[in-house]
Chain A
Amino acid sequence: MSSDQRISRRTVLRGVGTALSLPLLDAMIPTPSLAAGAKPPAKPPVRMAFVFFPIGAYMPDWTPEKLGPDYALTPTLTELASIKKETLVLSGLAHDNARAKGDGAGDHARCSAAFLTGAHPRKTSGKDIHLGVSVDQLAAQKIGARTRFPSIELGCDPNRNVGNCDSGYSCAYSSNIAWRSPTTPVPKEVKPRAAFDRLFGSGNKDEIDKGTAKRDLYDQSILDLVSEDARRLQRRLGRTDKRKLEEYFSSVREIERRIAGAESVDIAGIQGTRPPGGIPRDFQEHARLMCDVLTLAFQTDMSRIGTFMLARAGNNRSYPQIGVRSGHHSQSHHRNETNKVADIQKIDRYHLAQFVYLVEKFKSVREGDGTLLDNSMLLYGSGIADGNRHSHHDLPTLLAGRGGGKIDTGRHVRYQRNTPLANLFLNMLDLAGASADSIGDSTGRLKQLTV
């Protein structure tokens, strides 16, 4: 089929109606890519998303005993029943850089900071924030230009706007898991509707059609002008101030790139899925709306890389809807008392259920001969294993999806104790076509993952 015969995304979306999980037509694959003249790949692209949950889990109820495909689901992992075949349970992985290493308390801040970077955060309340580039951003920097949004960042908790977050660590460490550079976190969108609108516009088709070209020309001119302005300004500033302007520059460039490759998007087809405004009070409803947006983003190839923070590190939310009346963090120091352990286990399952929802959603989207899930890698994990003792080894880690048919899912695999979780990131980057030599404290690639 020649490329001009492909149906544009636009046409398809118009026909999609309100259903989310209608197939992407084969003729539409690959969906239009931004890089002009880039050769469309023959297969659907491989996508990756990382879902973070805070304060680890009650591991005795998490880790299966047996290895291989025949392991029995543990009390917490019973949630996986419907997606067991598509999921890998990975044991033994660790984040050494989430450990104190002489920096004292602050395991929760280090939990989120190290989660996707494998790096050790510099302990500071503000000055000289320093961490590392996260795996999603590394991928975004390598292959993100192929889609309209190099990556998308979602979460349920807004960044804290008051107080100290954890024992002398700036809140930047506990509110973000995606880091563009060692000094710059990527903020997340917490409002479902805003996240949706960012991807698809607010849906007024007339407005979209009318003068898009002219508006792009204007925006382009404006951005040119302010870049020039920033360049003039930068020459006269000191080192740290320059860095602040560098953040500004790269943000402007990113938007310029988007305008340059823009194609008008008509969301008539998916308008019915536009989430309601505001933040739902119910956690599950909120989390699932965000999962829907993430699925849509990948399904329509608006982006291939995403992160989703179910809650902020050191979360102390209570969940009365599942019978947990005390805060998550207070209960996590359970000292193996039955009632607290029971609360933690409830929360573990509740959080996991949201991830399972996401995986099922991916599974329901048909793509080519398979499903969106077949072409994705969805990681579920935390930077802390045991919340009671703040340990950072034997992290609870799940990987769902076959990464383009390469991952041999449906098993429990145990790695040697203290194997860096960052090693898994290298495998994932390989499968996504964004190979890197190392990330954080990685020492090599994991074995026993692929078919």
Chain B
Amino acid sequence: MLKKNINERGGQFFQTVVSAVFGVVIALCGCFSDDLRADDVLYVTKIKPLLTKYCYDCHSGDDPEGKLSLEKYSSAAVALKDQATWKKIHAHLKSRKMPPKDETRPTEPEYKQILDWIDASLFNIDCQGDRDPGHVTLRRLNKVEYNNTVRDLVGIDFRPGDDFPNDDVGYGFDNIGDVLTTSPLLMEKYMAAAEKIVQRAIVANPLGPTTRYQAEKFKATSGRRPFLKMQILFGNAEMQQQHDFKEDGEYIIAVRVFGQQAGKDLPRMSIRVDGKELAALDVSATGDQPRVLRIRRKIKRGKRKLGIAFINDFYQEGTKDRKQQDRNLMVEYFEVVGPLNPKSKELPEAHQKIVFASPLTTGETSEQCARRVLRPFAVRAFRRNVHPRELDRLISLVKLAEDQGDSFERGIQLAIKTILVSPRFLFRVERDQFPRDSRRPHKITEFELATRLSYFLWSTMPDDELLRLAREGALRKNLAKQVERMLADSRSDSLVSNFAGQWLEIRKLESVAPDAKQFPEFDDALREAMQKETELFFAAVLRENRSVLDFLNGKYTFLNERLARHYGIQLAKSKETDGNKFRRVSLTGTNRGGVLTQGSILTLTSNPTRTSPVKRGKWILEQVLGTPPPPPPPNVDPLAEDKKAVESASLRQRMEIHRKNAVCASCHEQMDAIGFAFENFDAIGRFRTMDGKFAVEANGQLPSGEKFKNAQEFSAILSKSKHELFVKCLTEKLLTYATGRGIEYYDKCTVDEIFERMKKNDYRFVTLIHEVVKSDPFQKRRARGPAP
């Protein structure tokens, strides 16, 4: 009976399993085979023949070059199993390293075809499913972020980070987690900067110079002796201390005491200077809560004897209640504060804001005050809620300072210094929810989001509103509104100095050095004007929420008199008398438009003595179109530039001859054509029609066929038919800057999607920012490891 049952059930179970497995197998085959079929067709009909033609000579047979045989990849399916090898193949083809240059090489379209196939099949990106947000490595605040954060946290803007070593750059930006390292030199500078900051922000002795005398240090004598960390005065006795009152003035004398109570009176303490009683105070405090008693008196300058005395000793033997037996005075310390600062000497604003409570003024214990003062500061510094235990650790430093005879405020200085060198301040900590499972992306917390947001848009810490929303868990819900608010705030100027400064590379202007003999008119005023023009232009596109295509051919710009003269543009008459002031200028009817014809870009892509069409072309391919040319192969003869050569033909003609070398031609054709479009602008961005004795020819043709006569027409082509490349390039740059990591193949979906949304919104800049903020790479993270 029993056995039969089992058998029956077993049979059933087996059947279920079989059908389930079978079903899955069918399902898998179903979805796989479709993909594979498409892949295979392409692979077998297009890709494999190319590989056979160009690669098999070396990479086939029993002893293939580099032990790589391509023969074995009979189908796409087989190839797909070997991702690592194909990644290498991809890299070698992309850099045009293979096939070697002395062998027959694929044409450019053929190269592209193979690369596209590898891209599509191997890095098989499915934009439907869950998106991989990528892994962002722990980011240290860079120099700029540090300066800004200190400014907003402490309320003093003095750029303590300027002495730090420059941060290294990765992917074109200096806020990349993987590249930001920490060294003893930097740590030293963090310590020194933190000390400077607290010294500036907080006055260690806000009332006046403070000297503290620890009572336990007085040697025992009749009627008193050190006891634990105090002095116990068990008879009518006095502690005497010579003190130098530096000036005539007001002083506070404060004594931390308690009494051992007995008899009908409270213990009475006398405070004396040179034997003269200044005050006699009743001490009601008891051992469980000592108190600070203080008096404020005018005292004449000079070295004087300060005395703290117990004056109503009481002792009664044989009392039943032992507590009523003995009255004593216990003193922890006494201190002289003064001469007191005159009222007119206001404390710095930062001090008032940060140290809003102090035991000398509120009467609380220093621990209570410290907790009140440090909690809000730590929350803002760490950009999240703070655990009570973390606070305890910080408060321990206040205690340490007081034990050392320093003031409460000095203690706060130490605690804040600690915060400023803490890893939780210096690093933007984000937690992996699944540290062991890199395949599980998750949303970052609201606090983490607030931090990403503020460092993206402001290059500084989140403000109180962001932190409040994060605490309430309401930031994601109000994201769009917050982005708008943040963009309206002047802190978003950091997008100009940091993002634009690096994307357009105008930071480089600081160090460009056009040859002084050839360009005597290039000076610092012009250099700064050029930089300013591009910054103002970028800011206008951002602030006026204009189309990003304005970067390519916006017919307006911002000039001061110097730059207008440099450009040969007549400024309209205006009431403006300050020639240094920048004014918005229409460029309609001129030969300029967009950033590409601005002096800044034209200069920083030139050589010291002449223009460099190659550099200009390369710059546009990299920064504008996002299609960087492969690096040049080594051992190529460069352009002849001796006097004879220069006088023999124009730069363009000489470069055309030079380009006859087939290896160079493939890339230079495009790069140079683009660069030459700007030949009407010399190495410091002036318009010209002649280069030396040769007429400038700025006309050209792109590999895709479009023809242009000059920079204007070229820019028009860019914004008309290359705008997708440009918008995607800008998106990738902004995404890199926002997330602090390089763009990976899996970001393609995000970038494509942002492009579609941009398209629907006239490519407005603010749309781009909203979309980056909403995107998965910005909103989520995952642990380091294999992609999902």
Contacts and interface: CB of A to CB of B under 8 A. Distances in A.
Q: Do A and B bind each other?
A: yes
Interface of A: 100, 102, 104-107, 124-129, 153, 158-165, 167-168, 170-172, 175-176, 180, 183-191, 194, 198, 214, 217-219, 221-223, 225-226, 228-230, 233, 236-241, 244-245, 247-248, 250-252, 254-255, 317-318, 320, 325-327, 330, 333, 335, 337-340, 389-390
A244 B638 contact: no
Interface string B177-202: 11111111111100100000000000
Contact of B418 (A125, A186, A226): A226
Given A160-B169, A318-B515, A106 B631 contact: yes
Given A126-B742, A129-B178, A161-B167, A326 B609 contact: yes
Nearest to B177: A244
A229 B424 contact: yes
B163 interface: yes
A76 to B, nearest CB: 21
B604 to A, nearest CB: 9
B99 to A, nearest CB: 14
B575 interface: no
A217 B404 contact: yes
A124 B642 CA distance: 37
B692 interface: no
A163 B502 CA distance: 7
B400 interface: yes
A124 to B, nearest CB: 8
B20 interface: no
A173 to B, nearest CB: 9
A76 B104 CA distance: 43
Contacts of B138: 237, 240-241, 244-245
B397 A161 contact: no
Contacts of B191: 219, 222, 255
Contact of A244 (B92, B137, B517): B137
A251 B184 contact: yes
B316 interface: no
A233 B387 CA distance: 13
B534 to A, nearest CB: 13
Contacts of A239: 784
B783 A238 contact: yes
9 contacts: A105-B630, A159-B169, A162-B501, A167-B631, A240-B784, A245-B138, A251-B182, A320-B515, A390-B635
B168 interface: yes
B697 interface: no
B647 to A, nearest CB: 13
A159 B783 contact: no
B174 A162 contact: yes
A251 B505 contact: no
B183 A163 contact: no
Interface residues of B, number: 83
B590 interface: no
Interface string B138-181: 10100000000000000000000001011111111010111111
Given A162-B502, A162-B507, A171 B609 contact: no
A168 B631 contact: yes
A214 to B, nearest CB: 6
B609 A325 contact: yes
Contact of B393 (A105, A223, A225, A251): A225
B421 interface: yes
A168 B608 CA distance: 24
A251 B186 contact: yes
B641 interface: yes
Nearest to A222: B418
A217 B405 CA distance: 13
Contact of B423 (A124, A245, A325): A245
Of B138, B429, B435, B640, most A-chain CB atoms within 10 Å: B138
B188 A338 contact: no
Given A158-B165, A187-B183, A252-B187, 7 more contacts: A104-B95, A159-B169, A162-B502, A222-B191, A225-B422, A237-B432, A389-B635
A233 B423 contact: yes
A159 B165 contact: yes
A236 B431 contact: yes
Interface string B622-648: 100000001111110110111100000
Nearest to A151: B184
A105 B421 contact: no
Nearest to B517: A325
B186 A187 contact: yes
A105 B632 contact: yes
A367 B97 CA distance: 55
Nearest to B645: A337
Contact of B422 (A159, A168, A226): A226
Interface string B454-466: 0000000000000
B508 interface: yes
Nearest to B506: A162
Nearest to A245: B423
A20 to B, nearest CB: 24
B185 A221 contact: no
A284 to B, nearest CB: 16
Closest 7 pairs between A and B when the two form their complex, measured CB to CB = A126-B170, A105-B631, A187-B165, A251-B187, A159-B166, A167-B631, A241-B138
Of A222, A233, A255, A333, most B-chain CB atoms within 10 Å: A222
Interface in B576-609: 607-609
A164 B169 CA distance: 7
A184 B502 CA distance: 23
B533 to A, nearest CB: 18
Nearest to B782: A238
B641 A185 contact: no
Contact of A194 (B163, B422, B423, B516): B163
